[in-house]
Chains A and B, each alone.
Chain A
């Protein structure tokens, strides 16, 4: 019992060599952790965090650039579309303008040509009528003179008769 108690007490009494070895081990291990192990892993953790953060930032930058480009293209597309429709409208307006111009010009040309033609026809008719009248009168007079054997003396009577004949001829022709 006494020896057991003595053993029990000595269990709780640190031995000097035990203290020395424990201190040696503790110092070595502490230096290892403080100077090598943890700085190394801390550096790796930091590097990894920086890399992840950098990756995220890069992705965000790329996303932003893509969005900007998209917006730019969409804006360009919009203005192009507006321009195209404007050009189309202009062209359509111009075309209808040209058509109506051409039509108006053609109509006026046609009217002029018709009028000219009518006028020339009329004048030709007039001319023909006058010359015909003269010729027919002469011929008829000669003819009548030959037939009657005498020349009609009175010029007024002559022309009256001729006019009457022509009117008769006209009537017959119709």
Chain B
């Protein structure tokens, strides 16, 4: 555990010079600078995490047997949890079937990318640029528009969304623009900002605790300040576990909201 933290601290110290800042999320391009394929630290982490995830899950799927081992059982549990407890519970089995692969993709990617922030050496969530949650949110956006147009037709879909039944007519003046705004902007951007802000704040707090620990234990001139290092280390350990929880929770929230938004495009009757 100590190794984990100290290695984390060294990387952080190199990357951010003691104090974490929002520059951590705007790292310099390290490969293909200036081209559309430039790679910075976060993108590098993202590519690496993707390769690891595809390898691990690919090997698991290729070796999958009828009678599962422990690891296969865990992977199967993840798939069945996403299928039954997220998609089918929100949408029902008939509607949900076509969206299972999408939600599994979203949930698995988010889980892996968010947890990169807690992996020593990576030390930053792969989802910690605005782009990644935005792209996933746009996927959700496209899907719920397609679902709405396919199930109701564009006119009916917009009418149902902007002029919900059971509301006094004058209220529509206020309600209709808000509903349209919700449909076009609020939904995808709330998805994006929620995840991104969580990853940014999580990284900042964790890095602050750990760099403070480094500072108080090794670099401080006044040795009387060293006990503070113990406190910040305890806080860092707590934040580390807390950020793991947040990573999983935010992935889950992203997946379930994606499902819920798509489901809202379907007609009410069930």
Q: Are A26 and B135 closer than 8 Å at their CB atoms? A: yes
Q: Are A29 and B109 closer than 8 Å at their CB atoms? A: yes
Chain B positions within 8 Å of A147 at CB level: none
Q: Say yes or no: is B74 at the interface (Cβ < 8 Å to chain A).
A: no
Q: Which of A4-22 contact B (CB under 8 A)?
A: 4, 7-8, 10-22
Partner of A41, one of B25, B50, B61, B102: B61
Q: Say yes or no: is B205 at the interface (Cβ < 8 Å to chain A).
A: no
Q: Which residue of A lies closest to B79 (CB)?
A: A41
On chain A, the number of residues with a Cβ less than 8 Å from chain B's Cβ atoms is 35
Partner of B64, one of A21, A26, A41: A41
Q: Are B39 and A44 closer than 8 Å at their CB atoms? A: no
With contact pairs A11-B22, A19-B131 given, residues A30 and B105 touching in the complex (Cβ less than 8 Å):
yes
- Cβ of A55 to closest chain B Cβ, rounded Å: 12
Q: Say yes or no: is B267 at the interface (Cβ < 8 Å to chain A).
A: no
Q: Say yes or no: is A47 at the interface (Cβ < 8 Å to chain B).
A: yes
Q: Which residue of B lies closest to A31 (CB)?
A: B105
Chain A positions within 8 Å of B200 at CB level: 11
Q: Are A34 and B129 closer than 8 Å at their CB atoms? A: no
With contact pairs A7-B22, A7-B26, A18-B131 given, residues A29 and B61 touching in the complex (Cβ less than 8 Å):
no
Chain B positions within 8 Å of A36 at CB level: 58, 61
Enumerate the 6 nearest inter-chain pairs by beta-carbon distance, A residue then B residue, closest first: A18-B131, A17-B38, A14-B131, A33-B105, A40-B61, A34-B101
- Residues of chain A touching chain B, judged by Cβ–Cβ distance below 8 Å, are 4, 7-8, 10-23, 25-26, 28-30, 32-34, 36-38, 40-41, 44-45, 47-48, 51
23 pairs of residues in contact across A and B, judged by CB atoms under 8 Å: A7-B23, A7-B26, A8-B22, A11-B22, A14-B131, A17-B32, A19-B135, A22-B46, A25-B109, A26-B135, A28-B50, A29-B54, A29-B105, A29-B108, A34-B101, A36-B61, A37-B58, A38-B79, A41-B61, A41-B64, A44-B65, A45-B80, A51-B66
